[in-house]
């Protein structure tokens, strides 16, 4: 089964617009869903590899993903990179 089909946002009846919303409330709701998603790693690494410009993917918005790629140029294996560091360290470092 593809990771997209196992995603929390695909299993539940969430309005997909919150993942592309323009309000802080939408972003908080989307990130909360991502926070308990079993395929968060796959989602975020896919967005990083594909240079997705819009929306919340794997719990990070587009600004946070751009910062991550800017701070870590040349990463090819984003899933390995994120797994090695862990989401908690990644989130803590995103403000740096």
- Token pair of 44 as six digits: 């975020």
Confidence (pTM)? 0.86
Domain boundaries, the chain: 3-93
Query: pLDDT tier at 96 (50, 70, 90 boundaries)?
Result: very low
Summarize pLDDT for 69-93 with one digit per residue, the tens: 998 999 989 999 998 888 766 665 5
DSSP string for 38-89: TTHHHHHHHHHHTT--SS-BTTB-HHHHHHHHHHSTT---HHHHHHHH-HHH
């Amino acid at each position: 089964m593809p990771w997209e089909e196992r995603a929390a946002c695909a299993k539940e009846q969430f309005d997909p617009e919150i993942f592309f919303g323009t309000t802080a409330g939408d972003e908080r709701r989307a990130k909360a869903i991502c926070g308990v998603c079993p395929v968060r790693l796959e989602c975020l690494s896919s967005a990083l590899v594909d240079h997705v410009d819009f929306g919340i993917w794997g719990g990070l918005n587009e600004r946070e993903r751009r910062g991550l790629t800017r701070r870590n140029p040349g990463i090819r294996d984003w899933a390995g990179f994120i797994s090695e560091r862990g989401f908690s360290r990644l989130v803590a470092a995103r403000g740096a």
